[in-house]
Amino acid sequence: MADFPVTINDDRVSPLSVQEKANIGFSHKFSIPYTDLTATGATGASDTVTFTLGSTPTKWFVEKAMANVTTAFAGTTALTLVVGTTSDTDGFLTSTSVLTAGIIGAAGFDPATVTSCSGTTSVGLRAVFTNATGGSPSALTAGNVNIYLNLQDAAQLP
């Protein structure tokens, strides 16, 4: 098992507008297509690919998280996603398969279900894909996931 670190391209990170945030309740969108995983060269059946999504502000909180698998990942027999921080990689979204299109969310979007939802020092945001059995990340032939976070700078609170 090897880990392949990737820093997400800036063009795949979208701070959402005030109108979008008011409509859907998220402040940031991160888009990860399967081609970003295949480009890593991860060929092992139990390899992981860790995406650095960015960093939090110094005083921060995440009140909800969600992922939308818009196109199911294909080309491997088991691929899961977790989303969190450098100190708790599954703090926002726990391990869920991305082999089926659909929504991945914390139960009820309750902040209590987000285990690492605040901090007083900046940490890195992470999305980790884990290939568990046959195939490998380099064998993927399809897939796209959009990760949504409501990441807030607590220093900006009135």
* Buried/exposed 5-20: b ≥16 CB within 10 Å, e otherwise: ebebeeebeeebeeee
Residue 98, pLDDT score: 97
Q: What is the structure's pLDDT at 7?
A: 95
Task: Tell me what pLDDT residue 113 has.
Answer: 59
pTM score: 0.92
**What SS3 state is found at 110?**
coil
Give the span between the Cα atoms of 12 and 37, in whole angstroms: 14
- Specify the CATH architecture of the domain 3-156: Sandwich (2.60)
Residue numbers in the chain where pLDDT is lower than 50: 110-112
Residues 40-65 pLDDT 10s: 989 989 999 999 999 999 999 998 89
What pLDDT does 157 receive?
87
Ranges assigned E (strand) in the chain: 3-7, 13-15, 28-33, 48-55, 60-74, 79-85, 93-97, 102-105, 118-119, 124-131, 142-153
The rounded distance, in Å, linking the Cα atoms of 73 and 56 is 28
Q: How many Cβ atoms are within 10 Å of 23's Cβ, its own excluded?
A: 10
